[in-house]
Structure 1
């Protein structure tokens, strides 16, 4: 291929990556998201990125790039629809049904009104683009670029639902740009590594039950304030840019087998931003007007040393990206059928709590106590014709959540992925192929039997969340 054509092909592939704009997350266990194109989704991630000429190796296992025999770029768009539905009860710290006290124009509270809503449809829909590019440099080295969304989660509940003291709106999303390099030691063994620069943004919102929190505050001596008087919707928005690394090895013990091991290191990730409080007249009064003998507000009485500014202030939280390790195996049975198997470990135990601070002062710390998880998957390709490939796969993904601390913000549980897919090589444009996949998530009902921390009012949820998910993935791949 002459230099001008080579430069043109590289420019096209780079433009595919450069034009990506992330739109939203796709949920897997916890708030991790699969980082594959449509071929990987069609196999339910079985075999990882060890299938022949799979450019997702640029992120998932950079060592596999050494065995890609020509430059290849891939652009993928995933459409996800996640459904969440809560059924159950909600009570305040005294065991009474969760309620809201209306306030008239003069700020005078009326009689409590029970909150009966189950939150509506707590799920979401999202579009997620992903891109990979691998360029062999010579017989030994290959270079890769990728844009991935390794973490993402969204749940949305009604602002006046019975669990509003636990969660209203939550979004966590990490977008990463990576560069990687592989080295082929010999015809059977390769190593690789890369770096990722990623931007994480997120927001959470929920009602602050200040009267319930005040009743449970040691500073007020257990005064039995009525729960749920006044409305204070707190919304916290934070972001951060961080850097991490990943590595992998690939071994081909036979001409039909490939074994791969990959590791993505934990990334420290401190998010900073602001909080805002959207309050009714009475809620604003609790945070601004003196009620105590020394001019303290209700917040000041309940939490000595803490000042919540109703007009907003700085906020920060620590949300580290957990380490992962994966073991993949691919076996080529014949020129028609190839099968892959994978096992992936995620160090979710590094996420123990969601702690929110403002100017160094603790606002709240919510325990989660996540546990390490495994994901197991198997899937394969069947070359139906010279141009059409069919795919299928199944995966089991463990949840990191625990029954004792699970809440509606991330109402996760164990899940099965079942997937079908196809690939078609376009005859009219040599090197171009189109891939599609459909994946359904069967999520085990998630028990919600938890009590809020005192600083959020001590209310209780007792019920379950039913969840399911559908993902449609479409890729275009160009070899040059």
Structure 2
């Protein structure tokens, strides 16, 4: 029993942060979401800070962009040998945002800063489903702040680099399989935050008017929680086994290598193809160290053994008029989670995304971009026996509208 309790406690907290990446929903630009979240091989405007810092040197105007999306997601669960759905999440809407600013220091040198939220959501199962000892609720947030410089070596080649400062926060709640005199189960709440630093570099090449190429690399980021709070609500007779204490842990968020191609067959059409390689193999295991013994142990360690994965993206934009643009895109995202390692925080499986969007020039200086993304994850059955997960079948979908405004000057 002791080892099972520790596995549940240690194996859940930051695995949720990892699954926010493994369950990757990038929402860095409303224009690019409409195009399947492509953009590595294009000059995407202010959002080149995220997609390819090398392309930022070829942004024609100074600009500021403010945008946000709404994530409406549902996860359904069927217990082993059941005939139908036995639990559903009751997730509140997530609101990831992006803010970018680009300014030309000279004709060749551009400076920019981006603030964006690549990870962040809430998964809420409640305390009535049979997996409540693994998870009741998980809240995640991560804010990236990225100052960036980009230089145009020629009118066809640009390079750029940005430093990323990351601030992350997680709150997890779950039941504990111990009871008080009234038969109520205990409860654990784990709350912590951490910071880290990484980088984003890119090269942009435009060999002709009809073709452009891009290569970017976003580094691995190790998020460290040094003084997390572990709080336990249990019967007084069990409090010595479950003292309120501090914990520390470290989690590697993986590096991403992206290759992109832009094709402009006519002045009206832009077609983009991207391939992202996410180096999830960096996530081998997860260890927690506690300031005081929890159920008899000062640490716990759980295997994760994720695999590197690929995301394949395609998108297009058609300029109907000088003021109006229509967009569409799609992508396929391979899951990094091997059999036996599935957990209920954000149950991960191969995902298919379909998107659409519009861009409209409101005035000489103001642009509006709107997008809609639908994500459908394949149904997946897993024993979860290698990661402390909850055996069963999971199915997840998400609906994500978004809007942004850009001021150019």
Judge same fold: TM > 0.5, yes or no: yes
Distance of 1:81 and 1:146 partners within structure 2:
25
Deviation string 1:288-316 (CA, Å, 9 cap, x unpaired) is 3xxxxxxxxxx4xxxxxxxx30xx11012
Structure 1 segments unaligned to the other structure (5+ residues): 1-24, 91-96, 98-115, 212-228, 289-298, 300-307
Q: Normalising to structure 2: TM-score of the pair?
A: 0.87
C-alpha separation in 1, matches of 2:176 and 2:304: 19
Question: After superposition, where does 1:232-271 map in structure 2 within 5 Å?
Answer: 232-271=186-225
Identify, as 1 or 2, the structure richer in strand.
2
Deviation track 1:423-454 (CA, whole Å, cap 9, x = no partner) reads: 0111xx3121111111100110122312377x
Aligned pair 1:274/2:229, yes or no?
yes
Tell me by how many angstroms 1:375 deviates: 0.6
Query: Corresponding residue for 1:126?
Result: 94
Q: 1:363, CA displacement in angstroms?
A: 4.2
Aligned to 2:154: 186
**Bigger Cα displacement from structure 2, 151-160 vs 367-376:** 151-160
| CA deviation string 1:60-114 (max 9, x = no partner) | 2111011111101111110110111111149xxxxxx9xxxxxxxxxxxxxxxxx
SS of residue paired to 1:41:
helix
Q: Paired residue for 1:432?
A: 366
Structure-to-structure mapping, 1:36-435, within 5 angstroms: 36-48=28-40, 50-89=41-80, 118-209=86-177, 231-272=185-226, 273-279=228-234, 281=235, 284-288=236-240, 299=241, 308-309=242-243, 312-359=244-291, 362-426=298-362, 429-435=363-369
Q: Is the 8 A contact 2:148 2:163 kept in 1?
A: yes
Give SS of 1:39's match. helix
| CA pair 124-364 structure 1, distance change in 2 beyond 3 A | farther
Change (3 A) 1:334 1:447: same
Taking the aligned partners of 2:345 and 2:301, their CA distance within structure 1 comes to 14
SS at match of 2:55: helix
Provide Cα deviations, 1:183-214, integer angstroms capped at 9, x if missing partner: 11112111110101110111222223359xxx
Distance 1:160 1:367, change over 3 A: farther
Q: TM-score, normalised by structure 1?
A: 0.75
How far does residue 58 in structure 1 lie from its aligned partner after superposition? Answer: 1.3
Q: CA deviation at 1:129?
A: 1.7
Match in the other structure for 2:7:
none
> How far off is 1:118 after superposition?
3.6
Aligned to 2:400: 471
- Residues 235 and 452 of structure 1: CA distance in aligned 2, closer, same or farther (over 3 Å): farther
**Secondary structure of residue in 1 paired with 2:126:** coil
Confirm or deny: 8 A CA contact 2:96 2:116 kept in the other structure.
Answer: no
Contiguous gaps of at least 5 residues in structure 2: 1-16
* Contact 1:120–1:158 (CA under 8 A) maintained in structure 2: no
Is the 1:29–1:413 Cα contact (8 Å) retained in structure 2? no
CA distance in 1, matches of 2:93, 2:107: 43
**Alignment length, in residue pairs?**
383
**Structure 1 residue 172: Cα displacement:** 2.6
SS of 1:56's partner is: helix
In the aligned structure 2, how far is the partner of 1:317 from the partner of 1:336?
A: 51
* Matched residue, 2:14: none
Indicate conservation of the 8 Å contact 1:42/1:437, yes or no. Answer: yes
Stretches (4+) displaced over 6 A? none
Whose Rg is larger? Answer: 1
Q: CA deviation at 1:286?
A: 2.7
In the alignment, which residue of structure 2 is the partner of 1:107? none
- Provide the aligned C-alpha RMSD in A: 2.4
